[in-house]
Structures are given as C-alpha cells and as structure tokens.
Homo-oligomer: A and B are copies of this chain.
Amino acid sequence: MLRAAADAFDRGGYEGTSLSQVSKAAGMSVGALTFHFSTKADLADAVLREGWEVTQAALERVTGQQTPALRVIIDLTLELARLMEENVSVRSAVRLARERPATPAWSDSWLPTVRKLLDEAHRSGQLREGALPADVATLVEHLTSGAEAYTRERRDTGPEPDTGHQSAVGRLERVWRLALTGVSASGNPVPATGTATDGP
C-alpha cells in the first residue's frame, strides 16, 4: 500500500496523485485505503516518513566507517544517489518534500551531518587550501540535486541506446573524481569576464 503510494507520488507528484489511483494500484478499495489513511495528505506524510527513515539508516551506515571525513562525505552522496535510483520511497519523499508547502527539505535530513564532516575534514587538512567547508557543502547540495534530476529524467525517458546505461551513482563518482582534483589546467579559476552577473 505504502509502496503503491510512493510509486504514484513519485510519478505524478502530490497534485497529480489521487487516493483512487493509489487504491487501484494497491489492489484495494478506496474504503480500505482510507481506513488506514483518511486523506491524501496523511498518505503523503507516511511516504515522507518512510523515505526519511531509509535516509537516516543510510546516514548511520555510512558515517560508521573508519575512513577520512572527506571520503565519508563522498560515500554518503553516492549512497544517497543509489537510494534515489533504487528506493521509490526515498525518491518519492524527495519529490513530496519539494512540492508540498511547509515540508522540511529532504536535505535537512543529511546536510547537517555533511557540514559536521566537512569541518572535520577541514581541521584535519583533507581540504585543499582555500576550499571552504561552506562551499564544499554547496557543491554537495548541487551534486545531490543533479543526481536526483538525472535519475528522474532517466526513469521517465528510459536509457537511450547511444548514451549507454549510466547509473546516477557512476556519474556522480566520475564528477567527484573531477571535482576533487580540479577541472582547470592552470589550477586557478579562469578570469571572470563578468558577463553573467553584469548582464541586463
């Protein structure tokens, strides 16, 4: 039942999902469904809770490692990407958290841990000089959003033959490798032209 609800919310969003759709997908009557969840909001809350709990469990699993903090952060983002690919409750919870007003953002469940790990990585000299923990945290947020967007797009369109079957986790691993060592040959930021920020 929760699985059918998660799948419906994941595909249709909160607005695009009805209790009758969920009951049909779960093979039960609307009456039987509303016996457990009287409103769509209740059902969405249950899916959110489930997705949040799965995320918390992953967080505890990954942060239990005896590895450098920076490595733990990377593994955590890879694990989050894997969950978004494989776990419909998590993917659905991420979407519901974004679409429902007054719902905490999904990142609230893991970003504080990332920030703590980044401070540790900074203190123990794992970050390059000039790499501020706050900026790395922002990078982590961007990468996680990117993994979600890719997973969602790929689920909707199916893998294209010419791009191969790239997993969101595999893509994220390659992006991390790049971001850790740097994109630019000079090792310095390319001088700004100011076009983007001074534009009309």
Residues of A within 8 A of B (CB): 12-16, 61-62, 65, 67-68, 70-71, 74-76, 78-79, 82, 98-99, 101, 105, 125-132, 135-136, 138-139, 141-150, 152-153, 156-157, 169, 171-185, 187-193, 195-197, 199
Also in contact, A75 and B105, with CB within 8 A (given A98-B153, A182-B182):
no
A97 smallest CB distance to B (angstroms):
9
CB within 8 A of A149: which of B149, B191, B197?
Answer: B149
Also in contact, A135 and B78, with CB within 8 A (given A99-B13, A191-B71):
no
In the bound complex, residues from chain B placing their C-beta under 8 Å from that of A136 are 178, 183
CB within 8 A of A79: which of B68, B129, B196?
Answer: B196
In the bound complex, residues from chain B placing their C-beta under 8 Å from that of A74 are 190
State the CA gap A125–B185 with chains docked (Å): 7
CB within 8 A of A68: which of B13, B127, B175, B190?
Answer: B190
State the CA gap A190–B136 with chains docked (Å): 15
Also in contact, A179 and B177, with CB within 8 A (given A70-B190, A142-B143, A145-B146):
no
A60 smallest CB distance to B (angstroms):
12
Q: Are A196 and B130 in contact (CB-based, < 8 A)?
A: no
Q: Are A181 and B188 in contact (CB-based, < 8 A)?
A: yes
In the bound complex, residues from chain B placing their C-beta under 8 Å from that of A126 are 184-185, 190
Also in contact, A181 and B189, with CB within 8 A (given A135-B174, A174-B135):
yes
Closest to A128 in B: B185
